[in-house]
A and B are shown apart, each in its own frame.
Chain A
Amino acid sequence: MNKYIFADSQSCIGCRTCEVACVISHQEDRSLSALDPNSFAPRLQLIQNAQVTVPVMCRQCEDAPCARVCPNDAITREDDMIKVNQERCIGCKTCAIACPFGAMNVVTQNKTVGSGLFARDETRALALKCDLCTDHQEGPQCVKVCPTNALRVVTPAKVEEVSANRREAAAMAAMAVS
């Protein structure tokens, strides 16, 4: 079973520190001062409406719709998570439409390739979603910075532990009835 990040709306205070930490974690230069407001594309996004405050991000679905619809096999399941291979992404946005959580964000990047006479501008597409900060030694940065501990990594073991506790409670409740 895949691991994923869960956000608890009862604890979230809408500060968006997670969004900033996410962007910095995916920068080449991981310093705050390197952050460029023009290319700010966090992989989790805060939703704040009349009823709820909570960041929304990839659930690392077992039967991932994004992976199933990708025409170029850029999205695969590996290491208990859903990964996007940016080299294979062609920017068709089908994954963004397929995702039931709106957690896939396709962005474009302009890059100069080649040099001198042969330099040319090229537009590259990137399908961005939560990658659990696999490149980061300390793990998911949103989880680390959240001031109210509203974010946590849910592993299969954690899911089983919660279910076991619930079964225990259900059994006790059943005993109370009899």
Chain B
Amino acid sequence: MSNAITEIQDTKCLLVFGYNAADSHPVVARHINKARANGAKVIVVDPRKIESARVADQWLALKNGSNMAVVNALANVLITENLVDQNFINNYTEGFEEFKAVVEKYTPESVEKITGLKAEDVRMAARTYAAAPNAMILWGMGVTQYGQATDVVRGLAALALMTGNFGKRGAGCGPVRGQNNVQGTCDMGMLPDVYPGYQKVTDDAAREKFEKHWGVKLSPDEGYKITDLGHKVKDGSCRAYYIFGEDPAQTEADLAHLRKTLQAMELVIVQDIFMTQTAEMADVIFPATSWGEHEGVYSSADRGFQRFSKAVTPPPGVKTDWEIFCLMSQAMGYPMSYENTKEIWDEIRELCPLYAGATYEKMEGLKSVQWPCPTEDHPGTSFLFEGNTFSTPSGKGQFIAAEWRAPMELPDGDYPLVLSTVREVGHYSCRSMTGNCSALQTLADEPGYIQMHPSDCEKYGVKDQQLVWISSRRGKVISRISANERVNKDVVYMTYQWWIGACNELTIEHVDPVSATPEYKYCAVKVEGIEDQAWAENYVQTEYSNLKSKLRTAARG
């Protein structure tokens, strides 16, 4: 995020795009409520009437898969109605003319059929956004989990650029993250193309710095993305897969394909705290400590480093992630060893100019230190781009436009409904950490729910709370109908953490060309009622018991 999460309260306009804070981040939802109470205008762009939409000044219920068209239409209105900050554009940005040429034809009127939005509503939203002295855009997985994701992110950033909404408090862009510490994994170089601190592996100077410090030769080539692995294992270029803190057999798109990839690997190592379905397929399992059993540093979505301490002593024989990495490294012939996490953190600070001043001492007492924090006397950075200098080679903000592309798999006669995968507040991510909590089980349990508009329920002859089959070209699962007036017609929604009603058996591995994130938000499915509900209830219980007993047996070893 370009701004601290707390700055949400300081903004005068919030454009919430494809982001359901109430279910994903209740803490951010609270900040959105406070912004409203402080007089901010709130515009929500989401196909569902999510909690923020319910209390927003304006809710734009766009059609699923039309993000780019909506963003281009908003940009079109800002430009044609002369609501832009020309001074900011002239002095601090580049590429505006090329951008303008692309969005010129995206009048809200011309894209009404694609977006499902009345032109006048889009115009009103653009005017509200431009009228605010400072405005923030928040977006979530409703933007990034599409085949056209990076383009939309650039488009949203362009809205902020053309209205001068960067470089000041309460003005900017907030891509809230999908999971706790996703920001941290990016910050620490878990992306295939960067070292810690966003230093490119292809940058000779950066690579030489790390080579010198670590005393090893490093590859100048970018690594593989998780979505590349299917092809890499097929052509023999990747044969081992070391997974930690992740459950791809639950969370990846098109699970049948993912299982084939795992099976084709010569070696699968899983480092986790529970026997997940991924761990069950592993050749080697390293039991690791959970968040309460070790110490470390998290990065929150707003670039804030926060230290946390160990609260519980782990069971014997269980090691922390960093100790396991050191042992693995030693076993492979590289003498990696550290005394404690502070030693590791200080090495990170030494090698990453962005984090150099974020000392353990500064984080003492639950304080958050936001990078960039270049020196020890620097307090950290609440908002980026002060003085309107951007982190591009020229220092100028770049306008990059793109044409709208339709999602990959459109509904048809055989699969007439769109499936979009979403979150629910009670369960965290793949649910390995929350699935055993009785309170959360009480609120929602297997096989999970498929949210469907009441008129679609009638159309397909299914009733609220009934079990149904949902199938796509890739798989078939059972789930329970939740008749829900807040969702739009012709689209169904499922949360992705259920074992029996696993919606990722259905999703498609169509990825964004830059981020390589799959299109979790759009694939074609059909829903079929089940005559014998008693049989179906029994089937769910049996399947769930069998799966649990399989994992229990695997855990015993």
Interface of A toward B, CB cutoff 8 Å: 10-16, 19-20, 23-24, 32-33, 35-37, 40, 49-53, 147-149
Contact = CB atoms under 8 A, between A and B. Distances in A.
A55 to B, nearest CB: 13
B27 A147 contact: yes
Nearest to B21: A13
Contact of A14 (B22, B438, B439, B485): B22
11 contacts: A10-B36, A13-B22, A13-B425, A15-B26, A16-B443, A19-B443, A32-B437, A36-B438, A50-B49, A53-B51, A147-B26
Given A53-B51, A148-B33, A15 B438 contact: no
Interface of B: 21-22, 26-27, 29-30, 33, 36, 49, 51, 54-55, 425-426, 437-439, 441-443, 445, 485-486
Contacts of A14: 22, 51, 425
**Max chain B Cβ within 10 angstroms of own Cβ: one of A10, A14, A19, A36:** A14
A12 B54 CA distance: 10
Given A13-B26, A14-B425, A15-B425, A35 B439 contact: yes
A37 B485 contact: no
B339 to A, nearest CB: 36
Nearest to B443: A16
Contact of A10 (B55, B439, B443): B55
Contact of A11 (B27, B33, B442): B33
B51 A40 contact: no
Contacts of A148: 26, 29-30, 33
A147 B30 contact: yes
Contacts of B439: 20, 23-24, 32, 35
Contacts of A50: 49, 485-486
Contacts of A37: 438, 441-442, 445
Contacts of A35: 438-439, 442
Contacts of A32: 437-439
A52 B51 CA distance: 9
Given A13-B33, A14-B22, A16-B425, 16 more contacts: A10-B36, A12-B51, A13-B51, A14-B51, A15-B22, A15-B425, A32-B437, A33-B438, A35-B439, A37-B441, A37-B442, A49-B485, A53-B54, A147-B26, A148-B29, A148-B30
A33 B442 CA distance: 12
Nearest to A53: B51
A51 B443 CA distance: 21
Contact of B426 (A13, A16, A36, A53): A16
A49 B426 CA distance: 18
Contacts of A11: 33
Given A50-B49, A53-B51, A13 B442 contact: no
A10 B33 CA distance: 8
Contacts of B438: 32-33, 35-37
B241 to A, nearest CB: 35
Contacts of A149: 30
Nearest to A46: B443
Contacts of B437: 32
A1 B51 CA distance: 34
Nearest to B440: A20
B26 A20 contact: no
B193 to A, nearest CB: 37
B454 to A, nearest CB: 10
B292 to A, nearest CB: 14
A20 B443 contact: yes
Contacts of A10: 33, 36, 55
Contacts of A19: 443
| Nearest 8 A/B pairs, CB to CB | A13-B22, A50-B485, A37-B442, A147-B26, A20-B439, A148-B30, A15-B425, A13-B51
Contacts of B51: 12-14, 53
A141 B426 CA distance: 18
Nearest to B54: A53
Nearest to B441: A37
A85 B125 CA distance: 55
Contacts of B27: 147
Contacts of B22: 13-15
A69 to B, nearest CB: 31
B443 A13 contact: no
Contacts of B54: 51-53
A13 B425 CA distance: 10
A49 B55 CA distance: 14
Given A14-B425, A15-B22, A53-B54, A20 B442 contact: yes
Contacts of B425: 13-16
Contacts of A147: 26-27, 29-30
A109 to B, nearest CB: 17
Contacts of A33: 438
A147 B24 CA distance: 13
